[in-house]
């Protein structure tokens, strides 16, 4: 088998995603005006993974995600960013993913984020094109009109 190109691992259980979410929320506070909204929106989007894990293990989703966010925010302030708290899918509780030995490859996380950003960019470009077309006015009708100018029933 070929050697690993990047053997680095990150904590699983939604820990990595929640850490990114908390960091983006912090960053949004240092930005003023409308520029803070992309940070907030991306932070909320990263919480989808922990939220989905909480739903799948049948625990109280709002409570567990709120606790996880708070734990990450306080641990981030104490440790300077090293946080590995995530959701133990077997028990439905917040646990230290390092202690449980739950790890995920860093390259998978990186590729997932890159793909999500590329897709979002593409959707925004498409939205710009569509809204630009709407501003120019109605386009020529490309659909064939029924004979006699009436709708067929």
Is-contact 49 102, C-beta < 8 A? Answer: no
Could you give the CA distance from residue 26 to residue 39 in angstroms, rounded to a whole number? 9
| Phi and psi at residue 85, to the nearest 5° | -80, 130
* C-alpha count within 13 angstroms, C-beta hemisphere, residue 134: 6
Is-contact 27 37, C-beta < 8 A? Answer: no
Give residue for tokens 């606790």.
67
**C-alpha dihedral over 136, 140, 145, 151, to 10 degrees?**
0
Residues in the chain, overall count: 153
Which strand (E) or helix (H) includes residue 76?
helix 61-79
- Give, for all 153 residues of the chain, the pLDDT tens digit: 566 677 899 999 999 999 999 999 999 999 999 999 999 999 999 999 999 999 999 999 999 999 999 999 998 778 776 789 999 999 999 999 999 999 999 999 999 999 999 999 999 899 888 887 777 765 555 555 555 555 444
């Amino acid at each position: 088998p070929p050697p690993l190109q990047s053997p680095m691992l990150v904590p699983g259980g939604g820990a990595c995603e929640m850490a990114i979410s908390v960091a983006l929320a912090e960053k949004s506070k240092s930005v003023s005006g409308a520029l803070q909204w992309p940070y907030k929106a991306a932070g909320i989007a990263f919480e989808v993974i922990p939220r989905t894990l909480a739903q799948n293990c049948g625990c109280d989703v709002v409570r567990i995600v709120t606790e996880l966010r708070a734990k990450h925010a306080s641990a981030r302030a104490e440790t300077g960013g090293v946080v590995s708290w995530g959701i133990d899918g077997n028990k439905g509780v917040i646990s230290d993913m390092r202690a449980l030995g739950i790890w995920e490859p860093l390259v998978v996380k990186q590729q997932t984020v890159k793909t999500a950003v590329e897709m979002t960019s593409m959707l925004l470009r498409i939205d710009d094109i569509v809204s630009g077309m709407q501003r120019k006015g109605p386009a020529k009708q490309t659909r064939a009109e029924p004979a006699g100018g009436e709708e067929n029933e």
